[in-house]
Amino acid sequence: MTSQYGLVDVTLRDAHQCLWSTRMTTPMMTPILSAIDQVGYAYINILGGAVFDVQVRFLRENPWERVGLLCSQLRTPCDGLTRGQSLYTFELFPDDVVALNSKVLARRGLKVLTVYDALNDMRNIESSVRSAHEAGMQVNAMLVYALSPVHDDAYFAQRTRALLALKADFISIKDPTGMLTVKRARTLFPAVVAAAAGTPVQLHTHCQSAEAPDVHTVAMRCGIRYGHTAVQPLANGASLPAAEDVDDRARALGVHTGIHRSALAEVSAYFALLAEREGKPRGRPQPCDPALFEHQVPGGMISNLKSQLAAMQMGHRLPEILEETARVRRDLGYPILVSPFAQYIVTQAVLNVVQGERYKTIPDEVRRYALGGYGRLAAEPSAEFMARARIRPHDVCTAVPAAALQPALPRLRQQLGASASDEHLLLAAFYDRSFIDALQPLPTPPRLSTTPLMELLRFLESRTDLQRASVRYAGAEITLSG
């Protein structure tokens, strides 16, 4: 039994990624930062692949600025998540880009770099870990949990040992589809904690199966030291469990989280108000759908898939596609359905269903995956698939994918000139110029505080159906008329 269980807040990253299509903007976050600092979190997760990408493509915000602003305003240490060698996208980048990314993040104030590889091929995170350490950050290396015949406790214990060898400061169990059950946790967690040999272990699990809060209880009992949570209005369903629920369970076990509930309640209320004002959904516990354990599609993806299918008038074929996803997964050697492979597998499933013939069309990424282009597979793909893809055993590559990549920075520096900043270089490595040019600066000065009254007024102003609102408080009267 652990005596301390620190909470890692994902409200500013994973939570809205799952529930709000990643659309939380920096101005929505800054007013509540000082209140978030009062809650007593161990770490605050502020960056992740989808967040970086959505900021540039849709919000027109400079992601480095958000990192810098948040880290400078928060005393609680912040962590950022990358997809290992793929960083914030689905391509693979050479080591020099990965190293520069670590340097830039550290310079902006990030304290912990969290990395994972979608295939649990730990070779793909080596350069991230090394460069993060060199830049002065700690590293949280994640094991991605999946359910399959090959992903047994021994498999995860072995991967844990590989992470130890990399000198990770933290080891996390990441369960993006909420498939961890209490039953499985009871054997898996001790195996991982034992293999971690003293390195603190963290638990990051989503709520699709509704067991997540209870899985955290098992984690506490097994000596795991940190749990990832979100505030209530952005918790549950496809997101992570509510900090309130996990803290309740800790208190029931006599485990200390360091959370101040009244501060947490205020921060929670702020985000609930934000949801109401912006017309965004609030997280609700959802009952477990047993099919989840078959298709295993991550929460963040299902809503995207639904809207894409709806746009193609194919919304009714969702169940069929999810079933086919399970089959494709088996055929491809049990890739874990986390980005980027979740997208590839689901795309293949959609193609299989729409075309009426399995593997009639195989996207390049799927082929590349089967050829080992992303890393070592957990198991061999099926013979049927390999035949349809016309891949023979000796075609499969076993080298570290990034090893083949040429350094990209020299070319970029030449293109952009010597005066280009590191941050600009990195953006150019990831995006077309048009996206970079479209980025807007954040409002200055940023709104760094707010009050309940101000949030009420902002809500009232946002309502188009209100003709008139009159607010009386503390001797003052404020009238808003539409």
Partner 1 sequence: MSTASPNAGPLSFQDVLQLVELIQSSSRFSELKLRSSGLEIELRRAGPATPSVAPASAPAPSPAGMPEQGTAPAPQPPAAEKQAQVLHTPPGAHVVTAPMMGTVYRAPEPGAAPYVQPGQHVEAGQQVCIIEVMKLMNAVHAEHAGVVSQVLVADGQVVDFGQPLVVISPV
Per CB under 8 A, residues contacting partner 1 are: 265-270, 272-273, 276, 451-453, 455-456, 459-460, 463, 465-474, 482
State the nearest-atom distance from the C-beta of 227 to partner 1, in Å: 24
Output the six-digit token pair for 210. 């509704």
State the nearest-atom distance from the C-beta of 451 to partner 1, in Å: 8
State the nearest-atom distance from the C-beta of 266 to partner 1, in Å: 5
For 455, list phi and psi in degrees, rounded to 5: -65, -35
- Half-sphere exposure for 123 (CA within 13 Å, toward CB): 13
Output the six-digit token pair for 171. 């080891």
State the nearest-atom distance from the C-beta of 433 to partner 1, in Å: 42
State the nearest-atom distance from the C-beta of 277 to partner 1, in Å: 8
d(CA 16, CA 24): 6
For 368, list phi and psi in degrees, rounded to 5: -60, -40
Nearest in space to 216 (alpha carbons), one of 172, 238, 247, 239 = 247
First to last CA, the chain: 57
Angle at 268 between CA 267 and CA 271, to 5 degrees: 90
Residue closer to partner 1 (CB basis): 107 or 282: 282
State the nearest-atom distance from the C-beta of 32 to partner 1, in Å: 9
Residue closer to partner 1 (CB basis): 416 or 469: 469
Residue closer to partner 1 (CB basis): 371 or 456: 456
State the nearest-atom distance from the C-beta of 479 to partner 1, in Å: 9
Residue closer to partner 1 (CB basis): 291 or 466: 466
Type and span of the H or E element at 74: none
Residue closer to partner 1 (CB basis): 312 or 466: 466
State the nearest-atom distance from the C-beta of 306 to partner 1, in Å: 25
Q: Tokens 């808003």, residue?
A: 480
d(CA 83, CA 297): 18
Residue closer to partner 1 (CB basis): 415 or 470: 470
d(CA 21, CA 54): 9
List C-alpha distances in Å: 387 to 23, 244, 354, 377, 390.
Answer: 42, 51, 21, 17, 5
Paired with 175 in beta bridges are 205
Query: Amino acid identity, residue 408?
Result: A
Residue closer to partner 1 (CB basis): 41 or 64: 41
Residues shown for the chain: 482
| Cβ atoms of 5 and 37 closer than 8 Å | no
What is the residue-wise DSSP string for 347-388? HHHHHHHHHSSTTSS--HHHHHHHTTSSS--SSPPPHHHHHH
Residue closer to partner 1 (CB basis): 277 or 424: 277
Residue closer to partner 1 (CB basis): 265 or 439: 265
Cβ within 8 Å of residue 128, ≥6 positions away: 82, 84, 85, 98, 102, 113, 115, 139
Query: Amino acid identity, residue 216?
Result: H
Output the six-digit token pair for 184. 């499985």
Output the six-digit token pair for 380. 């061999």
State the nearest-atom distance from the C-beta of 389 to partner 1, in Å: 52
Nearest in space to 239 (alpha carbons), one of 186, 319, 148, 303 = 303
Residue closer to partner 1 (CB basis): 392 or 468: 468
Residue closer to partner 1 (CB basis): 274 or 342: 274
Residue closer to partner 1 (CB basis): 284 or 360: 284
CA 185 to chain CA centroid, Å, is 21
State the nearest-atom distance from the C-beta of 261 to partner 1, in Å: 12
Output the six-digit token pair for 295. 């298709």
